[in-house]
Structures are given as C-alpha cells and as structure tokens.
C-alpha cells in the first residue's frame, strides 16, 4: 500500500504507461495502421501527469483483505464495486432463481435494521447500494458522497454479514421477481435468450434461468436464501475495487470493518466445464408478433485462453462494432433487415461462447438466419483484409480510454480485471496486446472457431422462410414464465 502524497485528481495517469509507448514499433509493422497508431500514441498524456496522480493502488487491510483503489479527489464521492464469485450457477438444480432473489434481499434488512430501517438509512444520506447476481458471481455496487462514507460502509457491512431475510421482505421481493417473470414471459428477445441457454446447456447450471421460473421462485425458502448467502459471501472469493475521494489509510481499516468477519472460505459447488449443445439447429417458439427475435451462438473462448485477444478482435469485425461490423453492414445497412444486430464473446467461467442477436420482420427471418450463418463462415474461412484488421485494432485501442472517464466506470474496470485475474498492470498492457495481433493470429483463431462453426439459433415470433435453415419447431407459445 502506497500513500498518496497529495490529493490526486483525475484518471489520466491510469492510461499513461510505458506500454503505450512500446506500441509504436509494432504499429509500424501494420500496413494500414498508421492513422490508427497516430491516434494511439497521442493518447498518452504527458509524462508529468504520471507523477501527479496516484495510479491503481493495491490496498491490503491489517486483516489481509485486498482492494484496488484509485484515489481521486475531483468530486466528493466514493464508488465501490465488489464481487463474490459464485452466482446463479450455484442455484440448486430444482430451484433456479435463489442467487438472484438472495442478492436482491441483501439490502432489504440486515443486522438490527429491518428492511424499512435499512432503506431509510440509505435514503437519508442518498447512499446507493445494490446487489445482483449473474451466472458466475454476486455483484455489489455502492455509491456515496464522501462525507457519508462511514454510514455507507456500515450498511455494506451489515448487508454482506448479516442479511435478515425476514419473511415480509422475502415475500415482497419474491412478488417483484415473479411480476418481472410474468412481464417478460412473452417478451420475444428475453424468451429467445432463455430458449438458447436451455437448448445449449441441458442439465447444466448455465441452461437454467437466472431469475428462476414461475414454478421455482415460489418454492424458494428462507433457508435456501440463508444457505446461499452463507456459502457464497466469503473472503476468499471476494474482489473489491474503490474509486474516489478516500485515501488508502482510510480504506484499509474499513475493509476489515466491512468484510473481516466473513467466513474465510466460500463453500461453492463445483460447476463442470461445458460445451454448448444443439449447434446447427434453428429452434422456433411461436409467438403472435410481427417481428421475430433471434439469439444465435456457438463455441467461443474462455477469458484465460491465450487466443482470447485475437478472438476478441475477430468478433469486433463480425458483430462487435456498432457501425462497421460485417453483420451491421450486411444485415442492417445493405438490406434493412433489422435495427439492431450484434455479436459478442461471452467468456463464462465454465464455457466460452460467441453469442449474438437481432430482430427482423417475420417474412424475412429465414433470409436473416441464412445471411448471418454465411457471414460468420465467410469471416472464419476467408479472414479479414489487412485493412479491416488494422481498422478494428485501431478502434479497440483508441476506445479503451472511454472506459475510464467516470468513477463508476473505473471501478467496474478494476473489478473485472481482478475477476479475470489479468494482473494489476493489465491496463498498461492491454493496448499492447491488441496492437500485437497479426493476420496470422486471426487466421489461427479463426481456424479454432472453424473446427465447429455451427451456430444454434433460437427464434421467437412467427418466422417464415426457414425451409433451408433446418428449423426445429417447438410446440406452443413460450408461456412458461421463465425469465433471465
């Protein structure tokens, strides 16, 4: 832990690194990369900024709890993001929705405070504290004015150490979750996404709906919730990022105050690695709407795969770029088939995926499925041009700074880097890694995707023109009432 010599202001030095300077030589190797690299190099702020600003500090409490801190006094506020590894994938097989419901209840009464008293404490000081579950973690987000950091940390402590799960609160939040499930029961894009997961991961936690179902949520007991909290909220699976008007000297003891009394080790149920099933199929759920929503996906890479960065660049060219991706150009711009079309890598802890989605009028659904398949295969087979690759890298490198322009965004980045175990110097190295990607790297990673390039499509609507698409109709409307 290093002390701040003077009150630091700004995030600029987060991005001023030796790594950026080191980019210049590799940039010269790129035929078409010059414009991009001009942009990149000039991104680095003057060297003096570095000495004025404390960068990411590893703060370790007397009790051994680690947090990453960016101390910044520009605004009188503090943002904290935390994560406990182990989310919806920890749900009992017959009771999906436990993690989600439990997370929603952490700020609904804890310690001596019932739900009403807890919410009053937050509201009186305008403290924002919320928790939610994703497949692989329970996340917590705190925002407070720095003058209220004491009470804010006290509420965080109570929420993670002593959630009450009082009957009144459980029932009330359960009703909210059920209402959400009913609201989304006929939402085409939600249902397409749920259908995709269910088909791709049968008998695996990733196939189950994170928010549970209309059958499972009523069956969740207080005991399920308390057991989930007890098993999951621990010190060894906890990651913490803090940004704003708080010094390392203030933060260190507060870490012990908030998290020191948690169990040393989480008791997580092992989740097996999984590969998506049903690839090549087009699954249809009929719903009487004018537009068909579709989710598609196949085998991707996990975050710790050495080829992840080249794969990330590859996906950017396919459907990651908002304006210049191949899918955008072919599906939207040229043919007017859809308003939105995208793809992204979804590196879950136990499965690497490439996922995407779009929505088009029913009459053109088959055409759209065929087009997306063809574009995917074409990119994997023929690869991008040098120029296309250079443009993609140029965007990814230049836009990295946009992730660091607010306390909340910086905190989220620091948290994700810890979750992904990329190292405290990752921000320094990241653009270097992207810049180093060559056409050969892209071909190699495309070759890996091509080993099984089949995509599973899940469609919800009344799609037409699927004769060639290998459609597998599913009986009935998706009224099952499950939501994600």
- Residue 65 sits at φ, ψ, to 5 deg, of -90, 130
Binding-residue pattern over the window 105 to 144 for another protein, x denoting contact by CB under 8 A: ----------xx--xx--xxxx-x--------------x-
40 binds another protein (CB under 8 A): yes
The length of the chain is 484
Among residues 12, 60, 279, 439, the one that binds another protein under rule CB under 8 A: 12
Q: Which is nearer to another protein, 33 or 278 (CB)?
A: 33
Pairing assessment for the beta strands 456-461 and 291-299 based on DSSP bridges: antiparallel
| Number of residues counted as binding another protein (CB under 8 A) | 86
**Closest approach of Cβ 128 to another protein, in Å?**
8
What DSSP line would sit under 315-376, residue for residue? Answer: HIIIIISTTTSHHIIIIIIIT---S-EEEEEEE-SS-EEEEEEEEEEGGGHHHHHHHHHHHH
75 binds another protein (CB under 8 A): yes
- Residue 246 sits at φ, ψ, to 5 deg, of -150, 135
48 binds another protein (CB under 8 A): no
Closest C-alpha to 127, from 108, 143, 111, 139: 143
Angle between helical axes of 426-435 and 386-398 (0-180°, round to 10):
160
CA gap 151, 363 in Å, rounded: 57
Q: Which is nearer to another protein, 40 or 266 (CB)?
A: 40
Among residues 76, 150, 423, 473, the one that binds another protein under rule CB under 8 A: 76
Among residues 168, 236, 249, 440, the one that binds another protein under rule CB under 8 A: 168
Q: Which is nearer to another protein, 38 or 468 (CB)?
A: 38
**Closest approach of Cβ 404 to another protein, in Å?**
5
**Closest approach of Cβ 183 to another protein, in Å?**
4
**Between residue 179 and residue 208, which ones bind another protein under the rule CB under 8 A?**
179-188
**Closest approach of Cβ 168 to another protein, in Å?**
8
**Between residue 267 and residue 326, which ones bind another protein under the rule CB under 8 A?**
287-291, 293, 321-324
Q: How many of the other CB atoms lie within 10 Å of CB of 279?
A: 17
The kind and range of the H/E element at 426 are helix 426-435
Closest C-alpha to 177, from 134, 210, 206, 131: 210
Do residues 434 and 313 lie in contact, with contact meaning Cβ atoms separated by under 8 Å? Answer: yes
Q: Residue ranges of the alpha helices (H) in 106-241?
A: 115-124, 149-161, 167-184, 188-200, 216-219, 222-232
**Between residue 443 and residue 472, which ones bind another protein under the rule CB under 8 A?**
461
Pairing assessment for the beta strands 352-361 and 238-244 based on DSSP bridges: unpaired
**Closest approach of Cβ 39 to another protein, in Å?**
5
479 binds another protein (CB under 8 A): yes
424 binds another protein (CB under 8 A): no
CA gap 325, 239 in Å, rounded: 34
Candidate ranges 74-82, 91-99, 153-161, 266-274; the one touching another protein (CB under 8 A):
74-82
Candidate ranges 267-275, 295-303, 331-339, 447-455; the one touching another protein (CB under 8 A):
331-339
Structure tokens at 43: 């991104």
How many contiguous H segments (helices) and E segments (strands) does the chain have? Answer: 19, 12
**Closest approach of Cβ 2 to another protein, in Å?**
20
Candidate ranges 249-257, 261-269, 328-336, 447-455; the one touching another protein (CB under 8 A):
328-336
475 binds another protein (CB under 8 A): no
**Between residue 341 and residue 370, which ones bind another protein under the rule CB under 8 A?**
359-361
Q: Which is nearer to another protein, 237 or 407 (CB)?
A: 407
Q: Which is nearer to another protein, 16 or 90 (CB)?
A: 16
438 binds another protein (CB under 8 A): no
72 binds another protein (CB under 8 A): yes
Candidate ranges 90-98, 307-315, 329-337, 349-357; the one touching another protein (CB under 8 A):
329-337
**Cα separation values, 379 from 319, 437, 458, Å:** 11, 16, 22
Structure tokens at 328: 């955008």
165 binds another protein (CB under 8 A): no
CA gap 379, 127 in Å, rounded: 48
Block residue for tokens 């001596």: 112
Structure tokens at 232: 């999951």
11 binds another protein (CB under 8 A): yes
Among residues 83, 178, 233, 427, the one that binds another protein under rule CB under 8 A: 178
219 binds another protein (CB under 8 A): no
Q: Which is nearer to another protein, 237 or 291 (CB)?
A: 291
Among residues 84, 165, 395, 449, the one that binds another protein under rule CB under 8 A: 395
The CA-to-CA distance between both ends of the chain, in Å, stands at 40
**Cα separation values, 3 from 40, 171, 239, 415, Å:** 31, 47, 21, 21
Closest C-alpha to 407, from 137, 128, 133, 156: 128
């Amino acid at each position: 832990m290093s002390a701040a010599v003077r009150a630091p202001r700004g995030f600029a030095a987060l991005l001023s690194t030796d790594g950026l300077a080191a980019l210049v030589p590799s940039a010269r190797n790129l035929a078409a990369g010059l414009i991009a690299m001009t942009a990149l190099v000039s991104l680095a702020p003057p060297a003096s900024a570095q000495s004025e600003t404390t960068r990411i500090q590893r703060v370790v409490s007397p009790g051994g709890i680690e947090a990453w801190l960016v101390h910044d006094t520009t605004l009188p506020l503090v943002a904290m993001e935390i994560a406990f590894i182990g989310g919806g994938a920890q749900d009992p097989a017959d009771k999906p929705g436990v993690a989600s419901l439990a997370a929603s209840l952490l700020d609904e009464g804890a310690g001596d405070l019932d739900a009403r008293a807890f919410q009053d404490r937050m509201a009186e000081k305008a403290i924002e504290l919320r928790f939610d579950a994703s497949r692989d973690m329970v996340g917590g987000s705190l925002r407070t004015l720095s003058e209220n950091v004491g009470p804010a940390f006290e509420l965080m402590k109570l929420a993670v150490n002593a959630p009450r799960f009082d009957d009144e609160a459980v029932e009330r939040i359960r009703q909210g979750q059920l209402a959400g499930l009913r609201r989304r029961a006929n939402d085409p894009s939600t249902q397409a996404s749920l259908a995709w997961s269910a088909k791709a991961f049968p008998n695996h936690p990733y196939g189950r709906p994170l928010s549970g179902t209309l059958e499972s949520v009523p069956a969740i007991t207080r005991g399920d919730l308390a057991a989930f909290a007890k098993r999951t909220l621990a010190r060894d699976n906890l990651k913490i990022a803090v940004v704003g008007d708080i010094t390392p000297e203030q933060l260190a003891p507060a870490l012990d105050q908030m998290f020191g009394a948690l169990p040393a080790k989480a008791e997580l149920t092992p989740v097996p690695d999984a590969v998506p099933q049903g690839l090549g199929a087009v699954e249809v759920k009929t719903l009487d709407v004018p537009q068909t929503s579709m989710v598609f996906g196949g085998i991707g890479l996990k975050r710790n795969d050495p080829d992840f960065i080249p794969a990330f660049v590859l996906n950017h060219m396919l459907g990651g770029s908002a304006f210049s991706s191949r899918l955008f150009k072919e599906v939207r711009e040229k043919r007017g088939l859809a308003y939105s079309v995208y793809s992204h890598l979804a590196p879950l802890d136990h499965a690497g995926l490439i996922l995407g989605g779009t929505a088009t009028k029913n009459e053109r659904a088959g055409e759209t499925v065929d087009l997306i398949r063809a574009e995917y295969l074409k990119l994997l087979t023929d690869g991008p041009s040098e120029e296309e690759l250079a443009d993609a890298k140029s965007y990814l490198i230049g836009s990295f700074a946009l992730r660091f322009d607010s306390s909340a965004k910086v905190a989220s980045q620091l948290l994700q880097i810890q979750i992904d175990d990329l190292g405290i110097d990752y921000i320094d190295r990241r653009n270097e890694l992207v810049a180093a990607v060559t056409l050969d790297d892209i071909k190699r990673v495309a070759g890996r995707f091509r080993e099984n390039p089949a995509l599973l499509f899940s469609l919800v609507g009344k799609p037409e023109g699927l004769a060639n698409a290998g459609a597998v109709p599913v009986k009935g409307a998706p009224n099952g009432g499950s939501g994600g």
